[in-house]
């Protein structure tokens, strides 16, 4: 996410590092659902131990506190630099993570895996039915264009000016589309149950892989009738990306636990142990680099633009210079996270 969110210029970006324009998907469209999926995987692994050692009320209090803090951090990112409460965007990436973590954690605490699976499927079926069958006033039912789909209409009606300013007519982390995003997280919870079960590592890896292949196939097939769409977080998108996440998890698990090849994981551990801090701080600094103005050849320009034009643009084509800026920005944050890791610092919420 740090790499794709911080190009030198949005006018020159390689297609795989962009989101799909609307229907369809690119590698970039896998990042957010993968994160929600792995949040779900972590829930049984972390909360399972806590529930065995702490009172349920204590665990619930920690879940709620963490969710509130993550949601508040997302609002803070949107408040920079104007802090205009009349127009601040309420949904967002961290806000969706907070809501999905809250709901999935509570469901895990109070139910078993069968109920969790049934709830995930019900959310996907209900969301599909809502977008396809519920008529939008003045438009009708089944419209999936950016302005006239049911999710966009609900976002505009409920959130008003507090939606994504780039699109203006919908929010990619809006209200209705959070329901299938919760299903993404619950699929991760189910994978976490599978990992906790007392099975041989090779059997665990094969189960993850089989479920992943099935998810990708079913997601693509469902997409023929209900298009894969990240902005709408369609049910087919959930099944497809959960399947892809399972395949990725199966590969990582096979390498680390079956083959016991673990040296390759070190860079990912450095980033992963402070993942939320990395996303928040890198996003905050990126906003500040745009807000801060410095003298340029034709007047004040954002510091981000000056750095790109002076340090990267002169020696490469626009698209390569833009990618080089993003790589350099990621490398800088990797160095920061590496120093924190070396000192044993965990910036948790």
Contact 13, 319 (CB under 8 A): yes
pLDDT value at 112 more than 90 = yes
Per-residue pLDDT for 43 more than 90? yes
What is the pLDDT at residue 209?
98
User: Tell me, what's the pLDDT at 96?
Assistant: 97
Determine which of 145-149, 238-242, 294-298, 303-307 has the lowest per-residue pLDDT on average: 294-298
Q: What is the mean pLDDT of residues 229-234?
A: 97
Q: What is the pLDDT of residue 168?
A: 82
Domain assignment present for residue 327? The answer is no
How does pLDDT run across 263-312, given as a tens digit for each residue?
A: 999 999 999 999 999 999 999 999 999 999 888 777 788 999 999 999 99
Whether 198 maps to a domain, the answer reads yes
- Say how far apart CA 57 and CA 68 lie, in whole Å: 17
Mean pLDDT of the chain, nearest integer? 94
**pLDDT for position 295:** 83
pLDDT of the residue at 294? 87
What is the per-residue pLDDT across 16-31, written as a single tens digit (0 to 9) for each? 999 999 999 999 999 9
User: What is the pLDDT at residue 53?
Assistant: 87
How does pLDDT run across 329-344, given as a tens digit for each residue?
999 999 999 999 999 9
Within-domain flag for 112: yes
Q: Which of 172, 173, 126, 132 is nearest to 150 (CA)?
A: 132
How many structural domains compose the chain? 1
- Domain range spanning residue 130? 19-261
Examine residue 129 and state whether it is found in any structural domain, yes or no: yes
Please give the biggest Cα pair distance in the chain.
Answer: 66
- Banded model confidence at residue 252, pLDDT cuts 50, 70, 90: very high
Structure confidence at residue 258 (pLDDT): 95
Q: Give the pair of three-digit tokens for residue 157.
A: 């009606």
Burial 112-138 (b: 16+ CB within 10 A, else e): ebeebbebbeebbeebbebbbeeebee
Q: Which of 23-37, 193-207, 284-298, 311-325 has the lowest mean pLDDT?
A: 284-298
* Residue 139 domain flag: yes
Our measurement of the distance from residue 106's CA atom to the centroid of its chain's CA atoms, rounded to an integer in Å, reads 20
For residue 199, what pLDDT band results from cuts at 50, 70 and 90?
confident
In percent, the amount of the chain with pLDDT more than 90 equals 86
The mean pLDDT of 128-136, rounded to a whole number, is 96
Question: Cα–Cα distances in Å, from 30 out to 35, 226, 256, 332?
Answer: 9, 18, 22, 24
Whole-prediction pTM: 0.94
> pLDDT at position 198, please?
77
pLDDT digits (tens, 9 = 90+) for 52-78: 888 999 999 999 999 999 999 999 999
Lowest-pLDDT choice from 69-83, 210-224, 241-255? 69-83
Confidence of residue 167 (pLDDT cuts 50, 70, 90): confident
Q: Is 68 a member of any domain?
A: yes
Give the pLDDT of residue 86: 83
Q: How far apart are CA 185 and CA 238, in angstroms?
A: 10
Q: Is residue 109 part of a domain?
A: yes
- Structure confidence at residue 9 as a pLDDT band (50, 70, 90): very high
Residue 125 above 80 pLDDT? yes
DSSP state of 177: T
Q: State residue 241 phi and psi, 5-degree precision.
A: -70, -35
Asked whether residue 249 is domain-assigned, the answer is yes
């Amino acid at each position: 996410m740090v790499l794709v969110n911080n190009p030198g210029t949005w006018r020159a970006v390689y297609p795989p590092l962009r989101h799909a324009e609307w229907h369809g998907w690119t590698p970039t469209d896998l990042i957010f659902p993968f994160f929600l999926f792995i949040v779900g995987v972590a829930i049984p692994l972390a909360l399972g131990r806590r529930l065995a050692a702490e009172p349920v009320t204590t665990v619930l209090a920690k879940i709620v506190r963490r969710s509130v803090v993550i949601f508040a951090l997302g609002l803070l990112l949107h408040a920079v630099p104007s802090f205009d409460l009349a127009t601040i965007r309420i949904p967002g990436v961290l806000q969706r993570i907070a809501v999905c973590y809250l709901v999935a954690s509570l469901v895990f605490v109070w139910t078993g895996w069968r109920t969790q699976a049934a709830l995930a499927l019900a959310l996907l079926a209900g969301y599909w039915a809502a977008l396809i069958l519920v008529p939008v006033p003045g438009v009708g039912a089944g419209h999936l264009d950016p302005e006239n789909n049911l999710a966009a209409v609900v976002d505009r009606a409920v959130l008003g000016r507090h939606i994504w300013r780039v699109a203006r007519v919908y929010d990619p982390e809006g209200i209705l589309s959070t329901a299938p995003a919760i299903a993404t997280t619950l699929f991760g919870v189910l994978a976490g149950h599978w990992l906790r079960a007392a099975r041989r590592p090779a059997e665990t890896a094969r189960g993850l892989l089989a479920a992943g292949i099935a998810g990708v196939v079913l997601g693509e097939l469902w997409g023929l009738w209900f298009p894969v769409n990240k902005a709408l977080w369609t049910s087919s998108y959930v099944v497809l990306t959960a399947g892809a996440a399972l395949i990725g998890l199966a590969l990582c698990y096979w390498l680390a636990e079956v083959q016991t090849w673990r040296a390759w994981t070190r860079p990912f551990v450095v980033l992963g142990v402070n993942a939320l801090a990395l996303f928040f701080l890198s996003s905050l600094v990126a906003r500040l680099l745009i807000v801060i103005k410095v003298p340029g050849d034709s007047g004040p320009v954002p510091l981000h633009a000056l750095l790109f034009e002076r340090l990267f643009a002169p020696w490469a084509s626009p698209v390569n210079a833009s990618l080089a800026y993003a790589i350099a920005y990621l490398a800088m944050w990797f160095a920061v996270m590496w120093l924190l890791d070396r000192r044993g610092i965990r910036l948790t919420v």
